Amino acid sequence: MKLLRYGPVGAEKPGMLDQNGNIRDLSGVIDDVAGAVLNPASLAKLGTIDPETLPLVSGSPRLGPCVTGTGKYICIGLNYSDHAAETGATVPPEPIIFMKASSAIVGPNDDLLIPRGSTKTDWEVELGVVIGKTAKYISEDDALDYVAGYVTLHDVSEREFQIERSGQWTKGKSCDTFGPTGPWLVTKDEVADPQNLRLWLKVNGETLQNGSTNTMVYGVKYLVSYLSQFMSLHPGDIISTGTPPGVGLGLKPPRFLKAGDVVELGVEGLGEQRQNVRNDD
């Protein structure tokens, strides 16, 4: 099942993708793709609905972030050994955790804004994990029971803000539009193995990232369990699991985004994104 949100910014409605790729309106069934809607019982109930019985949404509406009400956007740093190597870092003995402000979350095809003063805005395609029910002190064996599904994420990063401006990474990760999310939430029953998904990213048609989640240092099960030892995870929380090699910082010479660029990215089975890059006026 693929759940989504469509419509103008701030006025999105819940929807479901049918087998022909058409959007079906879910607003008569649920208020939004958020909170208790993401728990296993609710998702199972939604899964019994025949999409053909739902109202067809005409045209090509804007897609918003596929989940809302996200309390925590938790990111994992240097979780691909080959990405760590390209940035001159070493693989950490435990997962590196940092936060991206929820205000960075936007739709999958919304414009990507280069913040004022930025000289090193960079790209990172990532597998996202959406929590479906509250998780605290859970085991690795039980971890997937707490996952609602998976999403394509773009963990946009400003490297100067992140690395050269002191403090933690958060300020280089949280600028407005730095969290394109979607196009849809794919429920976990449709993803046979989250550790065997291809990820890719292009800038202006050139493929720069082409990896697989099977090279993650710390897998999804481990990350969900690990995070739950430090904080409660709640429905709608997002875990961004790291990026494969090919980011701008790792190129020789380094290369970063500029106004007029077009970024396209996707995760196998989870849908694609496309962002036009412009300066944040």
Dump pLDDT digits (tens) for 232-248.
Answer: 999 999 999 999 999 99
Q: Is residue 206 part of a domain?
A: yes
Q: Is residue 25 part of a domain?
A: no
Rounded to an integer, the average pLDDT of 208-234 is 97
Rounded to 5°, angle at Cα 226 from 123 and 158 = 20
Q: Is residue 54 part of a domain?
A: no
Tell me how many helices (H) and strands (E) the chain has.
Answer: 4, 18
Q: Is residue 51 part of a domain?
A: no
Rounded to an integer, the average pLDDT of 262-281 is 97
- For residue range 68-120, list pLDDT tens digits in order: 999 999 999 989 877 777 777 777 899 999 999 999 999 999 999 999 999 99
Q: Is residue 47 part of a domain?
A: no
- Whole-number percent of the chain with pLDDT over 90: 91
Pick from 180, 153, 110: which is nearest to 244 by CA?
153
Q: Is residue 88 part of a domain?
A: yes
Q: What is the Rg, in whole angstroms, of the alpha carbon atoms belonging to the chain?
A: 18
pLDDT at 91: 79
Burial class (CB in 10 A: 0-12, 13-18, 19+), 213: buried
Q: Which domain holds residue 269?
A: 69-279
Q: Do 184 and 191 form a contact (C-beta atoms < 8 A)?
A: no
- Assign residue 275 the CATH number of its domain: 3.90.850.10
- Please tell me the pTM assigned to this model: 0.96
Distance CA 235, CA 41 (A): 13
Q: Which of 20-34, 77-91, 136-150 has the lowest mean pLDDT?
A: 77-91
pLDDT level of residue 166 (50, 70, 90 thresholds): confident
- Please state whether beta strands 112-114 and 271-279 pair in parallel, antiparallel, or not at all (unpaired): parallel
Three-class SS string for 236-278? CCEEECCCCCCCHHHCCCCCCCCCCCEEEEEECCCEEEEEEEE
Q: Is residue 204 part of a domain?
A: yes
Distance CA 29, CA 128 (A): 25
Q: Return the biggest CA–CA distance within the chain.
A: 54
Provide the residue count of the chain: 281
Q: Do 235 and 135 form a contact (C-beta atoms < 8 A)?
A: no
Q: How many domains does the chain have?
A: 1
